[in-house]
Structure 1
Amino acid sequence: MKIAAAQYIVEKIQTLSQWKNKQIQLFDELTKETPLLALLPEYGSMELVFTQENYLSLSLHQQILNMQEWKSEFLSFFERLSFEKNINIVTPSFPIIEENELYNRTWFISPKKGMLAYQDKLTPTPYERNTIGLKNKKKQMEIFQVQQANIGIQVCYDSEFPQLIQHYAQAKCMNLLLVPSCTDGLRGMTRVQNGAQARALENQMFVLVSSITCHVTGCELIENSQGYSACYAPPDTGFPENGILARCQIDESCWIIADLDFNQLDNVRSEGEVRNYLDSKSFYNEKLL
């Protein structure tokens, strides 16, 4: 199963049409690769802020409030793009307001069925809680099935909490984790990448990270963001010794493409040099204390 993750460079887009054309051109780059799934980064939607009139004079709260009028168009655009390109798309996350509460949401869109479901960020960072009042809706993780893949999504900071996916890896046989990400500088980038690689090790699964980079001013939420996209496997039989299937260089605009062998993953889970997936059931299926 071939999958792709965007390393997305934010630009000062002036109109909604320019933004749409940028997305179309981005997906045109995948035409020869024909991946089954494409992952876009956390807060990639915030590029739309730059289409707002006088955005520099607006507070971050007002910028987010203004974005709500584009939600329907945002979703319908990605549904059309998914259908036209015949590819499953995990959208850039979008700050959505429901019942006067703010959530950070990404949608899973199928080329045949349209919008299947959504995943909210489960664990807002201290900055998100204190600066924009991002809430935790306590919505459980969704599991999406595409061919052999049982797919879960952890939005950026969520990937630093192993307990969030243990049940899904074991009870629902999740074998692919998607991590849309937006991080400030090297420390944040390192935390998310280390977390993603640790989840691949602990659960003997594939983990795909999509990152955003922004070096333009005018939207506090994404300013100074820096990162790289990567795909990880368990460092075990049949996979690279460092567990890295693919990665981009920091701050370049690109796609990473990875061809995932789920049969080999199943073999590692049952016959690998180590058996993290099975042994966690055998030894740690009850509370230690």
Structure 2
Amino acid sequence: MTDVRIAAAQYPIELLPSYGAWEAKLSRWVSEAAVRRAQLLVFPEYAAMELAGTDPAAAADLHASLDHVVALGERIDELHRQLAIHYGVTILGGSRPCRGARGAVVNRARLFCPDGRTGYQDKIVMTRFEREIWGITGGEAVHVLDAPFGRVGISICYDAEFPLIARAQAEAGARIILVPSATDSMQGYWRVRIGAQARALENQCYVVQAPTVGQAPWLPSLDDNHGAAAIYGPPDGIAPDNGVFAVGEVNRPQWLFSDVRLDQVDVWRGSGTVLPFLHWPEQDAPMRPDDACRDEPAPPAPITAPDRSEDRPEPIFGSLE
């Protein structure tokens, strides 16, 4: 499969009266995208935290809200799995807090395939709010996931601002990088967007951003939500001049749709106007500052190329269960 219709959610955080109301809302969103023939549905970072609002006592307390949503984890995953099977679509569920292997809470985004398989990616790099106030721990491994249309990588929000995460996924075969996000200011949105567009440029692939939107003063973890969904590529060949295939209206709840050709990634990487994906290793060449300002010439110090083998997280291939 080379043609894929992507639906990226600008998902509104709303005050819902019960788990059942949330289940109905999510089912409606998935149905709306499926009716419009979407094959890959992308929900935002921390979208599952909306469930904390169904318990006012938990919603008002940052740590109690984590515990509340963690406890619902299996039900959340099963609903997504059933929706993916029923509609024959691949769904990146809104990320949720989850107990990791060592018992710490991580921010996990799980991919659900139409044949019932699932796989996940934990956020690697925590923001200051997550690490200093909320107590979320970074994940330990970078994954690539085998969806029906090919390999994808997931760089959750802040992770998109760190090139080596998406680079490891692209080198492991990902032709789409998914960037679910939750940002409480337009500056935060633009930081993630700039990072996402940079990842599309340097890896010569598609990058999909999907944000939370709306005001939720009852939920300290997601009280302000700003952004716009988008599908990005490198500005080359069939891509628009700015590399933006589609972008939503800022802060408006909606699905954003875009049809992409995954074989175009091979064209960009093999015969593009520039070849940053291919030429990346050349950046390991030795570099040092110009010595032209020195009073007396000094013998050059020996320089060796830096060993970056440990800088890049090792991807886990085909980590679908």
Is the shorter-chain TM-score for this pair beyond 0.5, marking a shared fold?
yes
The equivalent residue for 2:32 is 29
1:1-289 to structure 2, matched below 5 A, reads 1-55=4-58, 58-98=60-100, 99-114=102-117, 116-138=118-140, 140-170=141-171, 172-281=172-281, 283-284=282-283, 288-289=305-306
TM-score by length of 2: 0.84
Closer/same/farther in 2, CA of residues 147 and 82 from structure 1, 3 Å limit: closer
Question: How far is 1:212 from its partner?
Answer: 0.1
Contact kept in structure 2, 1:214 and 1:222, CA below 8 Å = no
Query: What is the alpha-carbon distance in structure 2 between the residues aligned to residue 141 and residue 165 of structure 1?
Result: 9
Closer/same/farther in 2, CA of residues 286 and 145 from structure 1, 3 Å limit: farther
Contact kept in structure 1, 2:62 and 2:220, CA below 8 Å = yes
The more displaced of 226-235 and 262-271 is 262-271
Query: What is the alpha-carbon distance in structure 2 between the residues aligned to residue 67 and residue 242 of structure 1?
Result: 39
Question: How far is 1:102 from its partner?
Answer: 1.2
Query: What is the alpha-carbon distance in structure 2 between the residues aligned to residue 19 and residue 238 of structure 1?
Result: 39
Aligned length: 284
SS at match of 1:74: helix
Query: What is the alpha-carbon distance in structure 2 between the residues aligned to residue 148 and residue 286 of structure 1?
Result: 36
SS at match of 2:132: helix
Question: How far is 1:231 from its partner?
Answer: 0.4
SS at match of 1:157: helix
Structure with greater Cα Rg: 2
RMSD: 1.6
Question: How far is 1:280 from its partner?
Answer: 1.5
Identity of aligned residues (%): 29
Query: What is the alpha-carbon distance in structure 1 between the residues aligned to residue 211 and residue 9 of structure 2?
Result: 7
Contact kept in structure 1, 2:153 and 2:176, CA below 8 Å = yes
Q: Which runs of 5+ in 2 are unaligned?
A: 287-304, 307-321
Question: How far is 1:276 from its partner?
Answer: 1.0
Q: Which runs of 5+ in 1 are unaligned?
A: none
Return the letter of the residue paired with 1:133.
G
Return the letter of the residue paired with 1:19.
W
